[in-house]
Amino acid sequence: MEMREVDLPGIGRKFEAITRRGDKVVLIVHDDGRREMHHYDDDDFDESISSVTFSDEEARQMAGILGGLVYKPKDLERIELALGDLVIEWVKIEADSLAANETISSLDIRNRYDISIIALLKVDKTKVLNPGPDTLIEKGDTIVFSGERQHVRAAGKALFLTEGGG
Amino acid sequence: MDHMIFEIGTALLLVAIAALLANKFNFSIIPFLIILGMIVGPHAPQIGILDFRFIESAEFISLLGRIGVLFLLFYLGLEFSVGKLIRSGKSIVTGGSIYLLINFTGGLLYGYFAGFPLLEVLVIAGVITISSSAIVAKVLVDLRRTGNTETELILGIIMFEDIFLAVYLSVISGLILGGGTTLASSLLSILIALGYMLTFFIIARKATPLLNKMLKITSDEVFIIVVFAALFFVAGFSETIHVAEAIGALLLGLVFSETDQGERIEHLVVPFRDFFGAIFFFSFGLSIDPTTLLDAVWLALGAVVLTIIGNFVAGMIAGRKSGLSHKASANIGLTIVSRGEFSIIVANLGIAGGLMDILSPFSALYVLTLAILGPILTKESKHIFFLLNRIFKWVPAPRPKTK
């Protein structure tokens, strides 16, 4: 998610981002400490459809929750780590994802998506480092793979994620 | 003389009531205070012990108002930074230039064709060009538009106007207060004013370490005394070399903004700016004889129409040039159209310099109209855009929502 920062002279500072799902979100930090959060119409990025104002204290409270400081999501199924343009991603394989019960070679991952699979964490907590082409991917495994961002994204969408994910 | 404090107290009470009313209707206090000032004054009745004529205190109130101008411009200088402008990017410089080109030229032509002499034309053009930073910022926050794309450009143009105001005020204050009658002496006045400005810029660049040392005062009590002493002394000194005291305040603000203590001074000044600023608007209203308003109706209305059109067109061009949609671009002009404190400051300079009397009722009516109409136009910008879109057909009629 790319964050754009701009000064709003006399008002404060603005942070603007478009999330992976395509939601445009704007955060304003007012000079007087208030925070404002706007959410824009999916079809018309000029039209704010809702907004919330937080006091400084409320904003800190919300930040703690959003940042996972208060309550850590139990199932961090997808974590992304970016090293420049190279991205490493973890995805947990669900029963209905395309990759479940397939071998790495049958999916033809390296040729089709230009990514490499670094490791497979099996359901029973055993680790397969640098898995070979015959390695079977099963439901509940966590697959660790890397590549350029767009390739990782494409592969994640096509192979590993289910309808609801991502 | 005995009732001086009571008279001032009465005035402040009225100011407070007007401010409360403005707040209740969620309006800027500026038009309310001007109207209040116009209603009371020498022609107002005296009811019991309450004297609404403010004769004894008139001079004192106008002095407080003058102090208000100092604080308004001192704060403007403090807030302002060249670094900010450079960082703000090309679209703001382009947008600001387009805005100034269209509206300042429009103002000059308007004054010229209305048959005014040069100095009056310059004042009228200044009054017409400068938006009200206070009203625009308030409206944007109130309407929750701070997050919108066009807001960056709006605030950028406002910042650009403020710089223009600083330079312009110096030039015309040199011309008006310098009292030059020949071209040579007028040029000399302008040069003195610009040279004075340049001196401050150099001080801001070179003397910051020294000022940092001098302003490193831990005690708030001593700090405020030192800062205000500097403010009043510099402002007053400027007057002696025919540069408006307001410009002195602005330039000192610029110098202080470069020091480590810039932000501390800013926080310190805000309550003073708000209080004395309010008295300035009241005192401006007080200085206007409501019976003269009629003389300036057409002149003011013409200027209002010109401003709305000029601002809208400039906003449209500036917005489209920096890649905004038609709708967002329409918001620009319909937001920066509000006029307020800075227009009055320019007009006041002309009045103080003994220019034609019609400038006061003109600027009062003009500012009042656009201080009230401006925020309404901003609020209704969406409807105005769709209405205009039917005529100009910028975009196909709005798609029906699929959701």
At A165, the pLDDT band (50, 70, 90 cuts) reads very low
- In a mutational test of the B interface, the residue from A5, A8, A34 whose CB has the highest number of chain B CBs within 10 Å is A8
Nearest-CA residue of chain B relative to A26? B147
Q: Which residues of B touch A12 (CB under 8 A)?
A: 146
User: Quick check: is B32 in a domain?
Assistant: no
Distance CA B3, CA B398 (A): 64
Nearest to B147 among A7, A28, A43 (CB): A28
Phi first, then psi: give them for residue B350, nearest 5 degrees.
-65, -40
Average pLDDT (B322-333) is 93
The model's pLDDT over B145-175, given as tens digits with 9 standing for 90+, comes to 988 989 989 998 998 898 899 889 888 888 8
Q: Is residue A90 scored above 90 in pLDDT? A: no
CA angle B260, B264, B270 (to 5 degrees): 140
CB B54 within 8 A of CB B397: no
pLDDT digits (tens, 9 = 90+) for B390-400: 998 888 865 55
d(CA A15, CA A28): 6
Domain A79-160 fold: Alpha-Beta Plaits (3.30.70)
Angstrom distance (rounded) from CA B359 to CA B367 = 12
pLDDT at B117: 93
Does any CB of chain A come closer than 8 Å to the CB of residue B135? no
Q: How confident is the model at residue A155 (pLDDT cuts 50, 70, 90)?
A: confident
Cβ partners under 8 Å of residue B300, min gap 6: B361, B362, B365, B366, B369
The predicted structure's pLDDT at residue A71: 65
User: What pLDDT is stored for residue A81 in this prediction?
Assistant: 60
Beta strands in B176-332 (DSSP E): none
How confident is the model over B8-28, as pLDDT tens digits? 999 999 999 999 999 999 889
Q: Nearest CA of chain A to the CA of B133: how many Å?
A: 8
Closest by CA to A36, choosing from B7, B275, B146, is B146
pTM for this prediction: 0.77
Residue with more model confidence, B23 or B54 = B23
Distance CA B260, CA B265 (A): 10
Specify the 3-state DSSP secondary structure of A113: helix
CA trace torsion B327, B333, B336, B338 (10° rounding): -110
Half-sphere exposure of B108 (CA within 13 A, CB side): 7
Q: What is the ipTM of this complex?
A: 0.72
B155 in reach of chain A (CB within 8 A): yes
Which of the four pLDDT bands, split at 50, 70 and 90, describes residue A166? very low
Structure tokens at B178: 């310098």
> Where residue B287 sits, what CATH number does that domain have?
1.20.1530.20
Cα distance between residue B39 and residue B31, in whole Å: 12
Q: Which residues of A are less than 8 Å from B84 in CB distance?
A: 7, 9
Quote the percentage of chain B above a pLDDT of 70.
95
Q: In what order do the strands lie in the sheet with A24-30?
A: A3-8, A12-18, A24-30, A35-40, A48-54
What percent helix, strand, coil does chain A show, rounded to 5? 20, 40, 40
Q: Provide the number of CB pairs (under 8 Å) joining chain A to chain B.
A: 60
Q: Of the ranges A42-51, B9-18, B164-173, B348-357, which is most confident?
A: B9-18
Residue B88 falls within a domain, yes or no?
yes
- Interior CA angle at B378 toward B372 and B380, to 5°? 105
Q: State mean pLDDT over B184-209.
A: 87
Question: What's the gap in Å between the CA of B256 and the closest CA on chain A?
Answer: 17
The answer to whether residue B6 sits within a structural domain is no
- Which domain does B107 fall in, by range? 64-392
The encoded tokens of residue B293 equal 């308003």
Residue ranges covered by each domain of chain A: 3-66, 79-160
Q: Which two tokens stand for residue B352?
A: 């103080």
Could you tell me if A51 lies within 8 Å of chain B, comparing CB atoms? yes
pLDDT tens for B256-301 read 988 889 889 988 999 999 999 999 999 999 988 888 899 899 999 9
Q: Tell me how far the alpha carbon of residue B267 is from its chain's centroid.
A: 20
pLDDT attached to residue B73: 93
Mean of the per-residue pLDDT values of chain B: 89
Beta strands in B99-166 (DSSP E): none
pLDDT-based confidence at residue B96 (cuts at 50, 70, 90)? very high
How many domains in chain B? 1
- Contact between B56 and B3 (Cβ < 8 Å): yes
Instruction: Tell me if residue B178 falls in helix, strand or coil.
Output: helix
Instruction: From B36, B121, B11, select the one nearest B362 (Cα to Cα).
Output: B121
In this complex, is the C-beta atom of B91 within 8 Å of any C-beta atom belonging to chain A?
no
- Mean pLDDT value of segment B290-315: 94
Residue of A nearest to B147 (CA): A26
Contact A7 B79 (CB under 8 A): no
Q: Do B133 and A11 touch (CB under 8 A)?
A: no
Going by C-alpha positions, the residue among B389, B381, B383, B393 that lies closest to residue B150 is B381
**Residue A164's pLDDT band (cuts 50, 70, 90):** very low
Q: Determine which of B78, B88, B141, B163 to mutate to test the interface with A (most A C-beta atoms within 10 Å).
A: B141
Name chain A contacts of B156, Cβ cutoff 8 Å: 9
Strands (E), chain A: 3-8, 12-18, 24-30, 35-40, 48-54, 79-83, 86-92, 102-103, 116-121, 127-129, 136-137, 142-148
Percent of the residues in chain B that have a pLDDT greater than 90, as a whole number: 58
Of B249, B85, B71, nearest to B158 by C-alpha is: B85
- Which of A6, A10, A46 faces B152 most closely, judged by CB atoms? A6
Provide the pLDDT for residue B399.
56
Looking at the predicted structure, is the pLDDT value of residue A115 above 60?
yes
Among chain A residues, the shortest Cα distance to B81 is held by A9
